[in-house]
Chains A and B, each alone.
Chain A
Amino acid sequence: MGKTLFEKIWAKHMVRELSDGLSLLYIDRHLVHEVTSPQAFDGLRLAGRKIRVPELAFATMDHNVPTTEDRLDIKDPISRNQVEALKKNCEDFGVKLFGLGDEHQGIVHVIGPELGITLPGLTIVCGDSHTSTHGAFGALAFGIGTSEVEHVLVTQTLVQQKPRTYKVEFTGRLAPHVFSKDMVLKLIGTIGTAGGAGHVFEYCGEAVRSLSMEARMSICNMSIEAGARAGMIAPDDTTLDYITRQERLYAPKREELERARAYWQTLPSDGDAEFDQTLTIDAGSIVPQVTWGTNPEMVMDIDQPVPAPDSATGYSRTDVENALAYMGLEPGVKLTDVDVEVVFIGSCTNSRIEDLRRAAAILDGRKKADHVQLLVVPGSHQVRLQAEAEGLDWIFKAAGAEWRYAGCSMCLGMNPDQLLPQQRCASTSNRNFEGRQGKGGRTHLVNPEMAAAAAVAGKFVDIRKWPDI
């Protein structure tokens, strides 16, 4: 029987099998950020240990960093402390750091691929659940806790239970204005936030093959929102083109690239490989999605009414009542009749150059509604520079947006970018949990065009009808 992409990578990285179906797995790349690493470095110090292979760890600062012009001067002393701790830890232990002010600084899941740190066939971990993003390259990439961060630093391995495999096939082609973000939201709405638990997704099918790398990253990014630890897409010409299109510091070059290319061609799942679960979704029928509740499975087509506590299937009555009360929504309303006060375009889901281009296309020559605050936060400094080279920053500024520096920003508001209580936000990020973007804040997850259009209209928009709204 053939093997899946996941099984091939798993087998290659197996250091040894342990009892109980557990494996000791070799880790190729360890990405590090300031929030989930300090206690791990402290653990090393306490035990007098070193990093086994410091060259395989790469660090950046993203969660805490301000995104305004004066960002280098972090005013919050606790945030500053955490950022400084990472700097010191990287110096002390010999880890490469793309710190604040560095030309490659940015959200960890945006800079990994940009720098060629993320490559097909690798095992990649980070103390961050959205590490699943890197699976877009055909890597096995997953988030870990801080104890596991320390484990990888010391041993370059992890003890893991072998996950089951889950094939998610998107047939057909996406309709105009529908993004890969809508594909993954549709998936989460279909199987729920725990539907992928214990599994690794492999996304495939015509609609996936025709996506750019940026769009593939958005899908894999939100695998964790369906409960899966990882999502993967087999490498192909699109992948290779991304890796070789421009100078990527850590990507293989010349003879090494040739060797790598031959290896990467062997990675896609064999035709007769079997998956533990499969699901097929008709991509052509997907409508732009918007979340109405307080987790990503509480999602609907933009033209649908907000569900009533009795009618929503798959939830307890209390869950829906809690969600609607928190979101300040009545059953039966359409979100196209609901005002937004903040629009956030950013996060590791949708802050890459392609996302910004498509948001800019909507905003070009238009202005945001007066009552809306519009924040555009590029995922990395490189994305910011590229957007400026293309003049996108002018479009954003002319539309009344705040054009910011790279970081996680209002995706989780560990920096000063936060929603106020009861503020309603159209957000291109990945989590609409209570308080996620600021205590009491109300998050609706949407694709980048939907977010940009909401800023102009001052309320949610069915982007398929744009610009006649």
Chain B
Amino acid sequence: MKPFTTHTGIVATLNRANVDTDAIIPKQFLKSIKRTGYGPNAFFDWRYTPDGDPEMSFELNQPRFEGRSILVTRNNFGCGSSREHAVWALVQDGYRVIIAPRKEAGDQRLPAFADIFRINATKNGLLVVEFSENEVNAIFNLVNTHTGLQAAVDLEKQQVEFQGALPTIYHFDIEPRTKEQLIKGLDDIEQTLLYEADITRFEEEYDLFTL
């Protein structure tokens, strides 16, 4: 896995909540048995007209987002199907960071990203960053008022610096293990195989039908 330490790039927005993985990569592209080739098909149904031309009313097709690598969107991104193809498509389409807001609704605290999507992202070196709703609203404003707005993401410092008229810095939380995994580009399976003796011992004592 490609390590993630810092990244600077153009920020694009997608102003929709609950973007599901069917929308990120539609089913017809799941027939591939490869891990590559998904990039051009990310957001396919929104991105192209029925004739296959870019759909210019789709937010991410705006010329000002040309070359973007950081996506800011709304909450519950990546819900629905567990398909890791969604993460492959985003990464192969050039995204390195996705930013979304958690949402406080009454006593409920709704996360920015769906659970399986978040796990899949980390395994592919895609950084998902959760900010508060106010912060994300402010970022949407910044992007709307600054064409070609860039941001510098520093995982070690857990911060994103938006380079508008006045630089704005936001800090984010991340689990230490996820952070280490991303920074070192660790392979999960190799990490678990370090505990192979534990697994073997567990299996020796294990019985499916007793406590």
A and B found bound together: yes
A residues near B, CB below 8 A?
8, 12, 15-16, 18-20, 22, 24, 26, 28, 35-36, 38-39, 42, 47, 49, 52-53, 63-64, 76, 78-79, 81-82, 85, 119, 121-122, 127-129, 143-148, 150-151, 154-157, 159, 161, 191-195, 197-198, 224, 227, 229, 252, 256, 259-260, 263, 266, 295, 297, 314-316, 318-319, 322, 412-414, 421, 431, 433-436, 439
B198 within 8 A of A: yes
Point out which of B83, B87, B206 has the most chain A C-beta atoms below 10 A from its C-beta.
B83
Cα of A329 to Cα of B29 in the assembled complex, Å? 29
A267 nearest in chain B by CB position: B211
Q: A24-B192, A82-B31, A433-B22 are in contact. Are A316 and B17 (CB under 8 A)?
A: yes
Instruction: List residues of chain A with CB within 8 A of the CB of B120.
Output: 145-147
Our pick among A85, A128, A156, A197 for the contact of B199 (Cβ within 8 Å) is A156
- Asked if residues B211 and A266 are in contact (CB atoms below 8 Å), the reply is yes
Q: A145-B123, A227-B114, A434-B45 are in contact. Are A194 and B32 (CB under 8 A)?
A: no
- Asked if residues B82 and A24 are in contact (CB atoms below 8 Å), the reply is no
Cα of A414 to Cα of B103 in the assembled complex, Å? 34
B residues near A, CB below 8 A?
15-18, 20, 22-23, 26-28, 30-35, 45, 50, 74-76, 79-85, 87, 103, 105, 108, 110-111, 114-116, 119-120, 123-124, 175-177, 188-189, 191-193, 195-196, 198-199, 202-203, 206, 208-211
Instruction: List residues of chain A with CB within 8 A of the CB of B209.
Output: 121, 252, 256, 259-260, 263
- Asked if residues A19 and B15 are in contact (CB atoms below 8 Å), the reply is no
Instruction: List residues of chain B with CB within 8 A of the CB of A20.
Output: 175-177
B65, chain A: closest CB distance, angstroms? 18
B5, chain A: closest CB distance, angstroms? 20
- Asked if residues A154 and B193 are in contact (CB atoms below 8 Å), the reply is yes
Our pick among B85, B110, B189 for the contact of A197 (Cβ within 8 Å) is B110
- Asked if residues A154 and B198 are in contact (CB atoms below 8 Å), the reply is no
Cα of A209 to Cα of B86 in the assembled complex, Å? 37
- Asked if residues A36 and B83 are in contact (CB atoms below 8 Å), the reply is yes
B185, chain A: closest CB distance, angstroms? 13
- Asked if residues A36 and B199 are in contact (CB atoms below 8 Å), the reply is no
Q: A64-B31, A259-B210, A413-B27 are in contact. Are A15 and B199 (CB under 8 A)?
A: yes
- Asked if residues B76 and A193 are in contact (CB atoms below 8 Å), the reply is yes
Q: Can you sample 17 A-B contacts with CB below 8 Å?
A: A24-B192, A36-B83, A38-B34, A39-B33, A129-B80, A143-B116, A148-B119, A154-B189, A195-B110, A260-B208, A316-B17, A322-B16, A431-B22, A431-B80, A435-B22, A436-B22, A436-B27
B72, chain A: closest CB distance, angstroms? 15
- Asked if residues B76 and A197 are in contact (CB atoms below 8 Å), the reply is yes
Instruction: List residues of chain B with CB within 8 A of the CB of A144.
Output: 82, 116, 119
- Asked if residues B211 and A197 are in contact (CB atoms below 8 Å), the reply is no
- Asked if residues B111 and A198 are in contact (CB atoms below 8 Å), the reply is yes
A158 nearest in chain B by CB position: B192
Instruction: List residues of chain A with CB within 8 A of the CB of B81.
Output: 128-129, 431
- Asked if residues B33 and A194 are in contact (CB atoms below 8 Å), the reply is no
Closest A-B pairs by Cβ, 6 of them: A38-B33, A145-B84, A145-B120, A147-B123, A194-B76, A260-B209
Instruction: List residues of chain B with CB within 8 A of the CB of A229.
Output: 115-116
Our pick among B80, B193, B195, B199 for the contact of A433 (Cβ within 8 Å) is B80
Cα of A372 to Cα of B127 in the assembled complex, Å? 46
Cα of A20 to Cα of B179 in the assembled complex, Å? 11
- Asked if residues B119 and A314 are in contact (CB atoms below 8 Å), the reply is no
- Asked if residues B79 and A157 are in contact (CB atoms below 8 Å), the reply is no
Cα of A78 to Cα of B31 in the assembled complex, Å? 6
A156 nearest in chain B by CB position: B199
Point out which of B18, B23, B87, B188 has the most chain A C-beta atoms below 10 A from its C-beta.
B18
B83 nearest in chain A by CB position: A36
Cα of A413 to Cα of B111 in the assembled complex, Å? 30
A89 nearest in chain B by CB position: B33
- Asked if residues B30 and A435 are in contact (CB atoms below 8 Å), the reply is no
Our pick among A36, A155, A256 for the contact of B82 (Cβ within 8 Å) is A36
A315 nearest in chain B by CB position: B17
Our pick among A26, A35, A194, A295 for the contact of B30 (Cβ within 8 Å) is A35
- Asked if residues A433 and B82 are in contact (CB atoms below 8 Å), the reply is no
A43, chain B: closest CB distance, angstroms? 8
A261, chain B: closest CB distance, angstroms? 9
Instruction: List residues of chain B with CB within 8 A of the CB of A19.
Output: 176-177
Q: A18-B177, A122-B208, A147-B120 are in contact. Are A155 and B27 (CB under 8 A)?
A: no
Instruction: List residues of chain A with CB within 8 A of the CB of B211.
Output: 8, 12, 263, 266
- Asked if residues B23 and A16 are in contact (CB atoms below 8 Å), the reply is no
- Asked if residues B23 and A197 are in contact (CB atoms below 8 Å), the reply is no
- Asked if residues B199 and A147 are in contact (CB atoms below 8 Å), the reply is no
- Asked if residues A198 and B115 are in contact (CB atoms below 8 Å), the reply is yes
Cα of A373 to Cα of B202 in the assembled complex, Å? 53
A433, chain B: closest CB distance, angstroms? 4
Cα of A35 to Cα of B30 in the assembled complex, Å? 6
Point out which of B22, B203, B209 has the most chain A C-beta atoms below 10 A from its C-beta.
B209
Known A-B contacts: A127-B82, A155-B193. Give 11 more (CB < 8 A): A22-B177, A49-B189, A52-B199, A122-B208, A143-B116, A145-B83, A155-B189, A157-B199, A198-B111, A412-B27, A433-B80
